[in-house]
């Protein structure tokens, strides 16, 4: 009753206060500058403390903010600078100087809330927009490439439609989902493809288990938290437009014989001289445009709306995409500012021309004396059958690359839509409750057309069954409902914040596939006229299929406490209890605890010149769920018996009711030092991943099928990450800041379903049964395994008797024999990764040079393994010809000869930009930049791209280190960028 009375009283007071003072407002203006250089700070955030109003500084560092009567302080924050709170005096002009260099009070987005950076006891790195990689970014993950120690982002080659492979602290899982959990504006499991890089304000990466444990069974592969840009209340509408125009060229195409060399080497001379790579590549023009408006609606609402258009073309002709993206962020306060409503929605529509990377593969190995067109054939050739193109008939695995690039179409249309509503209500000054409802839909269409004259996939050699159309469609829906409450209290020198909540996530997936062929000719556009297919008259040719997931649900209860003592000792603890439908009936629920402690030792040691000396220790448990559904259950295949028309089933996978999530337990020790111009962060970690979900070979006699999913195995990863930042020069005219991030780790397989196995088949032609990777208990992941090449004898490779027992065992299926003469030929994972940022500002000019390197990894150059030996039987293929070629070798067999060290150091990005003041115009600022992407690479690797390949064939994470023949060539880009504010 007492509480009741107090509440009513307080409410009454509030209403009275509102009624009395609502009309009394005034406007405060000012300039925010750097304390040392006196340069204006653009985009600094100015907020009136205790109200929803605020503003962002313009290009001259100026702001203007409505201050309601009763407000006493303004808070100014700017990334990279100390946050400042100033009392509002009588004057309506408040100029503020911010000191740079210390990041002590920066607010960092963590799970279900924010924390002051200083109070964080786990390894969390936030990268803000100004530090993102510049240039034409196809995938938001690339914004972070090389910027965060321990975060690997690799996008090999220049395929505009390929998504980057992302890894945090190495391999976190073997059989489950290796993609990091993405959280966008609080929406767990959101799609990175539905955010335009232009709209991102900052990205936080939760690196260790104690930070990620609040996300439970999906946190093991890392958590990436994206915050999008917002508007500011009480501010005029501001417009921003930016555009980039780029062109690029292919680099590092595989080296091969010229037509003359080819004929001299005994190749079949077909009379022409064709540079096939020239024929299928181009220097494409790409551009993108982003337009946004942001501002306030009155004093309690704000918005930001943006539209982004991207047209990107690849170096392979007829590849690229067109993308349209729009996003609306709206924020408002009601009920005396007690209720805060955030609404955001975005939509992305992307049309892709994927093309076929086979066009590049065959461009490397196609006979360089073959003509592009059949009319130039040295012998009678029926060009019409192949759409006018020449084809070397009678050869295995050989297709005219120009015909592929020009005739075959591979199109994807992707639509993503999401909305997200978050209500936050302050029940009491110290207690806030949050409710969130979010939905995301992703629809993908993939249509592939091989015309009747296409030799590749179109079966043009067949007299009867030419042309093929394939249709694929998938729908994915994700729903999220969450509620949580946060309670704040202080006593004495201590602060305590407690958060508790509930989360419900569900997703549904459905896809269908349909293929049909045998079309009369190309005069009919059979993409729109599939009834022309003659397959309709012949049984057995029409392909169709569908997949539907069950409604996958994740349900969780979670809680967290953050305790601060003396602004120097920080303790964080969290617990999440979470269940998933994907697991076995007896193992659906699990518990994910975390604990962390941090101490700012400098508060007690008070070392001269040192601003911060923080030591922190965190421990946390996270999980990983299987990517697929139904792994715990028995699954059967439909058997259509054509002989009788009967339908029956056969066992495809045995059930495992005990299946549970993979579990990762990680301990992280961090040291953070800031001393004047230098800041450094060192993290050491140890992670044990156990029970990974793997399809295991089981006794077929007992189970009826030799596969089922089990929890088996253990991985240990130990690593070190170091980030250093130094202000070399900082004065009123010149700034030079340099930063370096270094990371190294080692992953050892401690237990596995088998004692040892080999993986990653080299493949056809002729090198099936040739597994190149060794997976062995007690050894590192990524070991490349094979015979050691020592020389040539009668055209055949000679291998070393590695164990010296006088007996040479090099047959591939003896790879695991104790007497085999194989050795570890390299490792696909780098020992050391490096990112080095250099930012120089001179007056209105700024130069940003970003270097990146990886060292210690090897790659199998499969182009060489297949096509460098001068095979007498393949005189009509071109040969690969690098400086590593061995004279006289006429037999292709995998060995150390094709495993190359792929250390590299590259200038990844060079940006030169100039700020242009536009006096007396409608524009408030302009920025012009020139960007060079990938201008040079230093490496001895002879293949297409020396960057580590973490995943083989798109899915096999245990087989890093193989460059397959279907790689898109790397490119070098030149970009002109313009940014206008008005």
Q: Which of residues 679-708 bind another protein (CB under 8 A)?
A: 696-706
CB of 173 to another protein, least distance (A): 20
Task: Report the residue from 814, 888, 936, 940 that binds another protein according to the rule CB under 8 A.
Answer: 814
Is the sign of the CA dihedral 694, 697, 700, 702 positive or negative?
negative
Site for another protein in 396-415 (CB under 8 A): 396
User: Up-side HSE of residue 701: CA atoms within 13 Å toward CB?
Assistant: 0
CB nearer to another protein: pick between 249 and 392: 392
Site for another protein in 632-661 (CB under 8 A): 632-651
* Element containing residue 363 per DSSP (H, E): helix 358-365
Only one residue has tokens 């006794």, namely 699
For 447, residues 6+ apart whose C-beta sits below 8 A from its C-beta are 409, 411, 412, 469, 470, 471, 472, 527
401: phi then psi, degrees, rounded to nearest 5: -65, -35
* DSSP secondary structure code for residue 843 in this structure: T
CB of 664 to another protein, least distance (A): 22
Q: What is the 3-state secondary structure (H, E, C) of 544-613?
A: EEEEECCCEEEEEEEEEEEEEECCCEEEEEEEEEEEECCCCCCCCEEEEEEEEEEEECHHHHCCCCCCEE
Total site size for another protein, rule CB under 8 A? 109
CB nearer to another protein: pick between 62 and 759: 759
Q: Is 546 in the site for another protein (CB under 8 A)?
A: yes
What does the alpha-carbon distance between residue 885 and residue 861 come to, in Å, rounded to a whole number?
A: 12
Using the contact rule CB under 8 A, the part of the chain among 171-179, 526-534, 540-548, 915-923 near another protein is 540-548
583: phi then psi, degrees, rounded to nearest 5: -100, 170
Residue 490 burial by Cβ neighbours in a 10 Å radius (0-12, 13-18, 19+): exposed
Task: Report the residue from 2, 4, 531, 537 that binds another protein according to the rule CB under 8 A.
Answer: 4
Q: Is 769 in the site for another protein (CB under 8 A)?
A: yes
Q: Is 816 in the site for another protein (CB under 8 A)?
A: yes
Q: Which CA distances in Å does 82 have to 99, 106, 188, 331?
A: 6, 7, 30, 26
What does the alpha-carbon distance between residue 215 and residue 206 come to, in Å, rounded to a whole number?
A: 10
Pairing of strands 96-98, 970-981: unpaired
Site for another protein in 549-568 (CB under 8 A): 549-553, 555, 557
Q: Is 893 in the site for another protein (CB under 8 A)?
A: yes
Site for another protein in 53-72 (CB under 8 A): none
Only one residue has tokens 């791209």, namely 945
Token output for 848: 């940003």
Q: Nearest to residue 859, comparing CAs of 942, 763, 962?
A: 962
Task: Report the residue from 767, 790, 882, 966 that binds another protein according to the rule CB under 8 A.
Answer: 767
CB nearer to another protein: pick between 375 and 700: 700
Neighbouring C-beta atoms of residue 337, cutoff 10 Å: 17
CB of 639 to another protein, least distance (A): 6
251 forms beta bridges with 970
Site string for another protein, 25-54 (x = CB under 8 A): ------------------------------
CB nearer to another protein: pick between 658 and 813: 813
Task: Report the residue from 309, 395, 524, 798 that binds another protein according to the rule CB under 8 A.
Answer: 395
CB of 304 to another protein, least distance (A): 29
Site for another protein in 565-604 (CB under 8 A): 579-582, 588-589
Q: Is 369 in the site for another protein (CB under 8 A)?
A: no
CB nearer to another protein: pick between 357 and 771: 771
CB of 171 to another protein, least distance (A): 23
Q: Is 965 in the site for another protein (CB under 8 A)?
A: no
Largest CA distance in the chain: 102
CB nearer to another protein: pick between 616 and 870: 870
Site for another protein in 450-489 (CB under 8 A): 459, 461-465, 481, 483
Q: Is 1 in the site for another protein (CB under 8 A)?
A: no
CB of 574 to another protein, least distance (A): 19
Pairing of strands 181-184, 223-228: parallel
Site for another protein in 847-866 (CB under 8 A): 866
What does the alpha-carbon distance between residue 222 and residue 61 come to, in Å, rounded to a whole number?
A: 37
CB of 465 to another protein, least distance (A): 5
Strands (E) in 940-969, as ranges, are 962-963
CB nearer to another protein: pick between 698 and 740: 698
Using the contact rule CB under 8 A, the part of the chain among 113-121, 165-173, 295-303, 867-875 near another protein is 867-875
CB of 752 to another protein, least distance (A): 11
Q: Nearest to residue 945, comparing CAs of 150, 254, 364?
A: 254
CB nearer to another protein: pick between 20 and 872: 872
Q: Is 272 in the site for another protein (CB under 8 A)?
A: no
* DSSP secondary structure code for residue 62 in this structure: E
Site for another protein in 509-528 (CB under 8 A): 510
CB of 391 to another protein, least distance (A): 10
Q: Is 544 in the site for another protein (CB under 8 A)?
A: no
What does the alpha-carbon distance between residue 565 and residue 492 come to, in Å, rounded to a whole number?
A: 9
CB nearer to another protein: pick between 238 and 893: 893
CB nearer to another protein: pick between 186 and 517: 517
């Amino acid at each position: 009753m007492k509480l009741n009375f107090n509440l009513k009283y307080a409410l009454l007071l509030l209403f009275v206060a509102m009624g009395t003072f609502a009309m009394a407002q005034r406007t405060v203006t000012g300039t925010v500058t750097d304390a040392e250089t006196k340069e204006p700070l653009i985009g600094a955030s100015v907020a009136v403390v205790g109200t929803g109003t605020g503003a962002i500084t313009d290009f001259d560092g100026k702001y203007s903010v409505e201050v309601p009567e009763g407000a006493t302080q303004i808070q100014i924050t700017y990334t990279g600078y100390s946050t400042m709170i100033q009392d509002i005096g009588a004057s309506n002009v408040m100029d503020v100087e911010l000191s740079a260099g210390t990041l002590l009070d920066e607010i960092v987005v963590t799970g279900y809330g924010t924390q002051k950076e200083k109070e964080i006891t786990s390894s969390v790195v936030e990268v803000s927009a100004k530090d993102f990689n510049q240039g034409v970014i196809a995938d938001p993950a690339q914004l972070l490439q090389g910027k965060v120690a321990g975060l690997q982002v690799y996008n090999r080659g220049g395929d505009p439609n390929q998504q980057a492979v992302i890894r945090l602290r190495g391999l976190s899982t073997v059989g489950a989902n290796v993609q990091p959990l993405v959280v966008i504006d609080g929406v767990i499991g959101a799609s990175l493809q539905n955010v335009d890089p232009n709209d991102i304000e900052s990205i936080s990466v939760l690196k260790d288990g104690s930070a990620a444990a609040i996300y439970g069974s999906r946190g093991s592969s890392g958590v990436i938290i994206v915050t999008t840009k917002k508007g500011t209340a009480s501010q005029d509408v501001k417009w921003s437009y930016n555009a980039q125009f780029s062109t690029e060229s292919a680099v590092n195409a595989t080296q091969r014989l010229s037509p003359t060399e080819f004929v001299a080497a005994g190749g079949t001379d077909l009379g022409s001289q064709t540079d096939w790579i020239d024929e299928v590549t181009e220097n494409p023009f790409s551009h993108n445009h982003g337009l946004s408006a942001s501002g306030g609606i009155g004093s309690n609402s704000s918005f930001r709306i943006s539209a982004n258009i991207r047209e990107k073309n690849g170096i392979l002709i007829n590849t690229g995409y067109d993308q349209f993206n729009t996003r609306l962020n709206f924020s408002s306060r009601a009920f005396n500012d007690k209720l805060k409503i955030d609404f955001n929605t975005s939509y992305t529509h992307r049309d892709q021309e994927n093309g076929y990377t086979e066009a590049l593969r065959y461009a490397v190995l196609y006979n360089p004396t073959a003509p592009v067109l059949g009319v130039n054939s040295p012998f009678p050739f029926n060009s019409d059958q192949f759409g006018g193109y020449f084809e070397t008939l009678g050869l295995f695995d050989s297709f005219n690359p120009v015909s592929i690039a020009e005739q075959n179409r591979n199109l994807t249309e992707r639509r993503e839509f999401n909305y997200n509503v978050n209500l936050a209500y302050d029940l009491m000054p110290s207690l806030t409750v949050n409710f969130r409802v979010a939905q995301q839909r992703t629809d993908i269409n993939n249509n592939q057309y091989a015309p009747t004259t296409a030799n590749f996939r179109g079966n043009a050699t067949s007299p009867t069954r030419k042309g093929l159309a394939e249709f694929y469609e998938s729908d994915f829906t994700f729903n999220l409902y969450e509620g949580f409450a946060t309670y704040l209290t202080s006593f004495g020198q201590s602060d305590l914040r407690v958060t508790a909540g509930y989360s419900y996530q569900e997703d549904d997936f459905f896809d269908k596939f349909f293929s049909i062929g045998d079309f009369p000719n190309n005069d009919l556009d059979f993409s729109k006229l599939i009834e022309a297919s003659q397959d309709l008259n012949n049984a057995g040719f029409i392909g169709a299929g569908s997949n539907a997931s069950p409604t996958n649900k994740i349900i969780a209860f979670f809680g967290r406490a953050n305790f601060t003592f003396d602004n120097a000792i920080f303790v964080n603890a969290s617990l999440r209890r979470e269940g998933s439908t994907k697991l076995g009936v007896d193992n659906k629920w699990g518990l994910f605890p975390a604990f962390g402690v941090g101490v700012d030792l400098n508060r007690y040691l008070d070392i001269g010149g040192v601003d911060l000396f923080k030591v922190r220790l965190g421990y946390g448990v996270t999980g990983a769920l299987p990517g697929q559904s139904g792994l715990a259950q028995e699954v059967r295949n439909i058997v259509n018996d054509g002989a009788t028309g009967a339908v029956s089933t056969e066992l495809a996978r045995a059930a495992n009711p005990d299946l549970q999530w993979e579990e990762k337990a990680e301990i992280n020790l961090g040291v953070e030092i800031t001393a004047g111009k230098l800041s450094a962060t060192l993290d050491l970690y140890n992670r044990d991943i156990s029970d990974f979900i793997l399809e295991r070979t089981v006794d077929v006699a007992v189970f009826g099928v030799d596969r089922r999913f089990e929890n088996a195995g253990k991985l240990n990863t130990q690593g070190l990450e170091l980030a250093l930042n130094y202000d070399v020069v900082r004065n009123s005219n010149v700034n030079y800041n340099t930063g370096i991030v270094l990371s190294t780790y080692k992953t050892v397989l401690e237990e596995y379903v088998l004692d040892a196995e080999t993986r990653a088949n080299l493949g056809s032609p002729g090198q099936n049964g040739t597994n190149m990777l060794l997976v062995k208990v007690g050894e590192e992941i990524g070991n490349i395994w094979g015979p050691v090449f020592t020389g040539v004898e009668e055209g055949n490779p000679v291998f070393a008797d590695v164990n010296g027992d006088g007996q040479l065992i090099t047959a591939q299926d003896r790879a695991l024999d104790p007497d085999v003469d194989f050795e570890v030929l390299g490792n696909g994972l780098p020992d050391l990764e490096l990112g080095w940022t250099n930012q120089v500002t001179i007056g209105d000019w700024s130069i940003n040079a970003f270097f990146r390197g990886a060292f210690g990894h090897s790659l199998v150059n499969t182009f060489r393994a297949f096509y460098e030996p001068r095979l007498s039987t393949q005189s009509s293929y071109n040969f690969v010809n690098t400086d590593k070629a061995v004279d006289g070798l006429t037999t292709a067999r995998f060995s150390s000869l094709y495993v190359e060290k792929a250390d590299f150091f590259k200038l990844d990005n060079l940006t030169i930009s100039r700020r242009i003041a536009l006096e007396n115009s409608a524009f408030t600022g302009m920025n012009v930049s020139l960007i060079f992407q990938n201008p040079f690479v230093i490496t001895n690797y002879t293949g297409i791209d020396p960057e580590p390949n973490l995943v083989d064939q798109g899915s096999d994470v245990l087989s890093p280190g193989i460059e397959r023949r279907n790689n898109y060539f790397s490119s070098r880009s030149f970009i002109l960028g313009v940014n206008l504010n008005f």
